[in-house]
Amino acid sequence: MARKITRNAKKSIRKRDAHNIRLIKMLVSLLFVAAAFLAGFALRGNDVVVDRLGLDDSSADSSQNPGLTVSGNTYDSLSARVAEIQGILSSESLDTYSLDTATENVLKALADSTDDSYLRYYDEPHYSAYLKEMSATYAGVGILFAESDGQAYAVDIFSGSEAEAAGVQTGDFVVAIDGDRGTDGWTAAEVVKQVSRDRGSSVVLTFRRPASLDAEGGDEFTVTLTCSDYSEPNVTTELVDGVGYIKLAQITQNADTLVETAVNSLAAEGAKSFVLDLRDNPGGYLTQAVDIASLFVGSGTIVNIQTKASTSTRTATGSVATTLPLVVLVNGNTASTSEVIAGALQDTDRAVIVGERTMGKGSVQSVVELSFGGALRYTSAYYSTPKGYAIDSSGISPDVVVADNASEDGDEQLNLALETARSLETV
């Protein structure tokens, strides 16, 4: 019986030893895997050792994206994201792309994704249009163009022009030029460039006529116009029953001198009050707008200018031309720096504003040349009135509202403005 127990005991010992050997082998295998894993970290990024071992280093620098073109976090940088894709395409893709076309498409998509309707990339040919200075003399098709939300429209039709005869009206938006609708519509500068052609040449313009300046849709119509030299005075004057009427078409480089001359001339003729007509005025130079407002305001703030860095002010120059009563006439096409004038004269209680709410284009667009050619236009500042009221998207609300409805009695807005000016003479 004792020998049988001993034999069973030996058999049990052998089983236990075999089990322990298997456990030891498994432990050694795990230790080997761990050692290899740690060795991989030790060799990771060590190009010399990796090369000697004949291995490929598949690690990437944590400060670089997979495109290996820029450093930094691609989650907060558009340029880094584009560079990553460009790097991958350059190193691995079998396809090719046009750099100029890609640039235009990418920047157009960037512009469309912002709330800045004036943001636009211009290639070199289009950029040349911005290098032209504003002038009271216009060569082209007899239309003064302005811009609303980045789209060109007719703000004035020259009297006696072919455009007037063809039925083009104020507020008509340019849709196409010679059948070309443009990549993103047409800006005022682009239209001016396209219609400034040799005398006698023709241009085909397609317009859209909306119900109002800010309305969508509208019927389209096409006209063929012959380019010619058109000249229209920037300032026109008239003495109407003791009221000095001054119409300012644009705020050009010499607009303040023209307005001052008109004021002095009308005062010499016996004007007892004034009407400054800024209807359909698309604006222009801010310095000139400040100087024009200063002809009527002796001191104080004319306009506040908000940029990304700070807020600054422009104050009256002290060059007052008259203290006689003043009415400013505006409409929905009164825009930009002409709104600055109206807002300054209203906030300082210097003038009564008559007409319709202005366009609300109280922003400044800057054009910056790009190192690879062309330029970028973007909104760099906003205007507000002396009391701090924002002009952009809001406009200037008249003190006396009257719609632009022509009747048998003539220009109702102008008639009311003249009547208001005369009533102020006795105040």
Domain annotation covers residue 287: yes
Question: Catalytic residues, which ones?
Answer: 336, 347, 361
Burial label for 354, CB within 10 Å (0-12, 13-18, 19+), is: buried
CA 93 to chain centre: 36
User: How many structural domains does the chain have?
Assistant: 3
> Please, how many CA atoms are within 13 Å of residue 382, restricted to the half-sphere of its CB?
15
Residues 254, 344: one domain? yes
Query: For residue range 313-332, what is the model confidence (pLDDT) as tens digits?
Result: 999 999 999 999 999 999 99
Q: Are residues 262 and 396 in the same domain?
A: yes
pLDDT in tens, 74-88: 667 788 888 888 888
Same domain, 358 and 375: yes
Query: pLDDT tens for residues 164-181?
Result: 889 999 899 999 999 999
* Amino acid 214: pLDDT: 79
pLDDT given at position 368: 87
Is residue 308 domain-shared with residue 345, that is, in the same domain?
A: yes
**Separation CA 145–CA 153 (nearest Å):** 6
- Tokens 């071992």 correspond to 53
Task: Indicate whether 352 and 386 sit together in one domain.
Answer: yes
Picking from 302, 382, 415, the residue whose alpha carbon sits closest to that of residue 350 is: 302
Specify whether 314 is located in the same domain as 395. yes
Query: What is the structure's pLDDT at 212?
Result: 83
226 and 182 belong to one structural domain = yes
Q: Indicate whether 302 and 217 sit together in one domain.
A: no
Structural domain for 291, as ranges: 235-424
Q: Name which of 193, 198, 203 is nearest 224 in CA terms.
A: 203
CA angle 334, 339, 345 (to 5 degrees): 125
Looking at the structure, do residues 287 and 219 belong to the same domain, yes or no?
no
- The encoded tokens of residue 120 equal 């636009």
CA distance 82 to 80: 5
Q: What does the pLDDT look like over 372-387, one tens digit per residue?
A: 888 888 999 999 999 9
Residue 90 lies in a domain: no
Give the 3-state secondary structure of residue 361.
coil
Kindly give, in sequence order, each residue whose CB lies less than 8 Å from that of residue 421, ignoring residues fewer than 6 positions away: 243, 273, 274, 275, 325, 326, 327
Flag whether 320 is in a domain. yes
Question: What CA–CA distance (Å, rounded) separates 381 from 116?
Answer: 11
Residue 310 and residue 419 share a domain: yes
Band of pLDDT at residue 100, cut at 50, 70 and 90: confident
200 with 271, same domain: the answer is no
SS3 126: helix
Return the DSSP state at 128.
Answer: G
Q: What count of other Cβ atoms lies within 10 Å of the Cβ of residue 300?
A: 14
Query: Which amino acid is residue 291, in one-letter code?
Result: D
Please give the mean pLDDT across all residues of the chain: 82
Structure tokens at 305: 């200018």
What are φ and ψ of residue 140, in 5° steps? 165, -125
Among residues 30, 53, 76, the one where a domain terminates is 53
Cβ(189)–Cβ(129) below 8 Å: yes
85 assigned to some structural domain = no
Question: Do 397 and 252 share a domain, yes or no?
Answer: yes
Residue 361 sits in a domain whose CATH number is: 3.90.226.10
**Nearest-angstrom CA–CA distance, 290 and 302:** 6
